[in-house]
Amino acid sequence: MLPQRVKRAITENPKKLANLIDLANLPSTLREFVGQSQISRLGCFMRVWSYIKANNLQDPNNKNVVICDDKLRSILLGKPRVELAELPALIKLHFPKERK
Amino acid sequence: MFWVTIYFLLNRLLLKFWAWAVPKKIIQLVWIGLAQACLRPCLLKPCKTLKSQNQRRRKRKRRKKTKKMGKIPPSFRTSTVPVTTLLKNPPAVLPKQSTVLETPQKPHHFPKKRPQPSGKTKKTRTPIEDPKSPVIFNSPNLLDAKKLFASITTTSTTPLDFRFHNALLQSYSSISTVNDSISFLRHMIKSQPSFSPERSTYHILLSQSCKSPNSDLSAVHQTLNLMVTHGFPPDRVTTDIAVRSLCSAGREEHAIELVKELSLKHSPPDSFTYNFIIRHLCKTRALSTVYNFIDELQNSFQLKPDLVTYTILIDNVCNGKNLREATRLLEVLGEAGFKPDCYVYNTIMKGYCILDKGSEAIGVYKKMKEEGVEPDLVTYNTLIFGLSKSGRVKEARKFLDIMAEMGHFPDAVTYTSLMNGLCREGNALGALALLEEMEAKGCSPNSCTYNTLLHGLCKLRMLERGIELYGVMKSGGMKLEKASYATFVRALCKEGRVAEAYEAFDYVVESKSFDDVTAYSTLENSLKWLRKAREQGLAS
């Protein structure tokens, strides 16, 4: 099911993906974390995820939960614990919504 | 250390050998219609016998089949062979700022090297003596090129033969304009009286003029005229090079025009060139254009399509799911006095399999038997694939035994097709059992086998076995395919094992299985789905 859907999404609606790849101007909080003024949503996700991995921020008892440090808290709405499942949605908040 | 040196030298040697072998090889391979990219696999093993050529042909067919027919089954492609390198021409060798001379990409201008002596004597040659040590032209400026040429000729101690000049010209032409290249050639002739250009020298110019993006054929004509005035009227090789260069530059109309013109004046295309252009036209133009072209050549120059041409045409219409046209072509082929061979039948069978028409595929098989055409491995693989795909796994299974009886040993493609069929039926355990059977028979599964299984297991909610399999794939460094990855991630999310889904995402990125964007959007979609399911209380 999914691959065909993704394929269709790519061929029919290139803008949907553009929203993932296009560089966006970052708000100041995120700019501090990333160290760049512009980044794509995909790039930003990769940064955050590799930051989590590098600093071993996953809860050792439940790998699905991230225990945020100060730096991470500043960009993830100040939550102390974030589920991995929410991560993409939280990062998306920093980026401009899709224009329709 | 010694062996490393030997190995290196041997490689060099073989590259060279390839370089001279190509003019012939190209012609042999033309009808296969794959461009230079295809030559690479056989680079180290120039094969001479018809048998090995046949094997190659078959291999190609099989590869193609694995690719083409992989449309619906999720993971049917052999990822060991990057399919793109097989089907696409290598990027049309556009001028780069610096081109090293000895790129193995375009050696077809260098004619026969001296007849290959036994390997040992050549091994002792040090690379320094090689006249074709890399020379780089940095600027397309003619004056700079002349200066560089002068400095090379004055410093060189060994006598320079025409191959050296060809190499220089090749290097320069890759960055300059056609006119500059011609001037440079004139300059070389003038300043080095010992150098007399060969046909191949002009072929370099020809291919350059074909590749330059012109709106007409004037540059090509200029080069051809130059050839004629210097006593090299265009021959088959000229036609071939011109057609290939034009096609690789996307100038099919010009290629057609030039073929007609050359057939009229000098040399008609041989069957390899002819089939190359047909194949290329099939890919890029409407079918009517191809038919018009065939008719025109037949009427004006008595150039008739051969069996290979018909196979190409049938293949093309079958891929377009136009089976009626394929049947018509089969009749035309018979009227033209050809007897369909194994490859024609395989192609038609593939056409039916694309359309999920198992009975018709069996019909083709029976017809082959009636006509006395011996089915080969590809036939059986196609048949088994088609039957599995249309849900007739039991019958497919029977053919597994039949093919073994006929002396064709089932390979990874056969088993993967069967596993795919079993998974579609919902019999994942049967598929796993088949994997064991396959390994017991000494046939090693490839990455698409694993991908098929992973996909099937995840679909059939046997996630634990799937994770196990994924572990095997990871330790084998196999690439994931989009479909199996997506199913896997979805299954993991369904179980609330998000961390593992992230891990799979990391593996895809790390192993470069496919692009990050797809990997991420798949993951994101699955997580989105998870959130919705949780809201509705459907998932933990």
Contact yes or no for B522 and A83 at CB 8 A: no
Q: What is the pLDDT of residue A33?
A: 81
**Nearest alpha-carbon partner for B418 in B439, B442, B435:** B435
Q: What are phi and psi of A58, to 5 degrees?
A: -75, 140
Is the CB of residue A59 less than 8 Å from the CB of residue A67?
yes
Tell how far CA B69 is from the center of its chain: 16
- Judged by CB atoms within 8 Å, which residues 59-118 of B form the interface with A? 74
- Please give the model's pTM, rounded to 2 decimal places: 0.67
Interatomic CA distance for residues B395 and B398, integer angstroms: 5
Cα(B62)–Cα(B417) distance, rounded to whole angstroms?
Answer: 13
Query: Are B63 and B12 in contact, with CB atoms under 8 Å apart?
Result: no
Q: Which two tokens stand for residue B145?
A: 């090129």
Instruction: Specify the pLDDT at position B217.
Output: 84
Cα→Cα distances B253→B98, B222, B278, B283, B332, Å: 31, 18, 12, 14, 26
- pLDDT tens profile B124-162: 333 333 444 455 677 778 888 888 888 887 777 676 777
pLDDT of residue A9: 61
B522 and A9 within 8 Å at the Cβ level: the answer is no
Residue count of chain B, please give it: 540
Calpha distance B297→B533 (Å, rounded): 64
Q: Tell me how crowded residue B286 is: count the other CB atoms within 10 A of its CB.
A: 10
Q: Rounded distance, CA B454 to CA B521, Å?
A: 20
| 8 Å CB contact of B521 and A49 | no
Query: Which option is the CATH number for A17-94: 1.10.245.10, 3.40.47.10, 3.90.76.10, 3.40.50.150?
Result: 1.10.245.10
**pLDDT tens-place string over residues B320-358:** 888 889 889 988 988 888 888 899 999 999 999 988 888
Residue A38 has pLDDT above 70, yes or no: yes
Q: Name the residue facing A20 among B74, B498, B520 (closest C-beta).
A: B520
Among positive and negative, which fits the CA dihedral B390, B413, B278, B52?
negative
* DSSP 8-class letter at B214: -
Q: Which helix (H) or strand (E) holds A83?
A: strand A81-83
pLDDT for residue B343: 92
The whole-number pLDDT of residue B505 equals 92
Residue A63 contacts residue B499 (beta carbons within 8 Å): yes
pLDDT at B168: 84
| Distance (Å, whole) CA B120 – CA B317 | 50
Q: What is the pLDDT of residue B62?
A: 41
- pLDDT score at A26: 81
Contact B35, B89 (CB under 8 A): yes
From chain B, pick out residues whose CB is under 8 angstroms from the CB of A39. none
Residues of A in contact with B518 (CB under 8 A): 6, 10
For the ranges A4-18, A74-88, B154-168, B289-303, the lowest mean pLDDT is seen at A4-18
Q: Do the Cβ atoms of B329 and B351 come closer than 8 Å?
A: no
Structure tokens at A95: 């980026």
Evaluated on CA atoms A30, A36, A37, A43, the torsion sign reads negative
- The shortest CB-CB distance from A21 to any of B490, B517, B531 is to B517
| Burial class of residue B488, CB neighbours in 10 A (0-12, 13-18, 19+) | buried
Structure tokens at B404: 């073994």
Overall average pLDDT of the A69-84 stretch: 84
At residue B161, φ and ψ (nearest 5 deg) are: -95, 180
**Are B499 and A9 a contacting pair at CB < 8 A?**
no
Helix (H/G/I), strand (E/B), else coil: A39: strand
How far apart (Å, rounded) are the C-alpha atoms in residues B411 and B368?
Answer: 22
Q: What is residue B178's predicted lDDT score, i.e. its pLDDT?
A: 86
**Domain ranges (residues) in chain A:** 17-94
Taking only the tens place, the pLDDT of each residue in B161-190 is 778 888 888 888 888 888 888 888 888 888
Q: Is the pLDDT of residue A83 over 90?
A: no
Q: Which of chain B's residues have a Cβ under 8 Å away from the Cβ of A89?
A: 527-528, 531
CA distances from A69 to A45, A52, A88 (A): 17, 9, 18
Residues 335-374 of B with CB under 8 A from A: none
Asked if B490's CB is within 8 angstroms of A2's CB, the reply is yes
470-529 of B, contacting A, C-beta below 8 A: 482-483, 486-487, 490, 493, 496-500, 502, 506, 509, 516-518, 520-528
**Of B223, B219, B212, the residue nearest B246 (C-alpha):** B212
DSSP run (H or E) holding B525:
helix B516-535
- What is d(CA B284, CA B295) in angstroms, rounded to the nearest whole number? 18
Q: Which residue from A minimizes the CA distance to B516? A: A42
Closest CB to A63: pick one of B499, B523, B527.
B499
DSSP label at A82? E
How many angstroms separate the Cα of B336 from the Cα of each of B12, B301, B310, B326, B339?
Answer: 46, 17, 10, 15, 9
Q: Is the ipTM of this complex over 0.90?
A: no
Cβ separation A2–B487 shorter than 8 A = yes
**Chain A residues close to B514, C-beta within 8 Å:** none
B371 burial (CB, 10 Å; 0-12 / 13-18 / 19+) is exposed
Give the other-Cβ count within 10 Å of B127's Cβ: 10
pLDDT per residue as tens, chain B (540 positions): 455 455 554 455 444 444 444 343 333 333 333 333 333 333 333 333 333 334 444 444 444 333 333 333 433 333 333 333 333 333 333 333 333 333 333 344 444 444 433 333 333 333 333 444 455 677 778 888 888 888 887 777 676 777 888 888 888 888 888 888 888 888 888 887 777 788 888 888 888 888 887 778 888 888 888 888 888 888 888 899 999 999 988 888 889 888 888 888 888 888 899 999 999 999 888 889 999 999 998 888 888 889 999 999 999 999 888 888 988 998 898 888 888 889 999 999 999 998 888 888 899 999 888 988 888 899 999 999 999 988 888 888 888 888 888 888 888 999 999 999 999 888 888 888 888 888 898 888 888 999 999 999 998 888 888 898 899 999 988 888 889 999 999 999 888 888 899 999 999 998 888 888 888 988 988 998 888 888 887 765
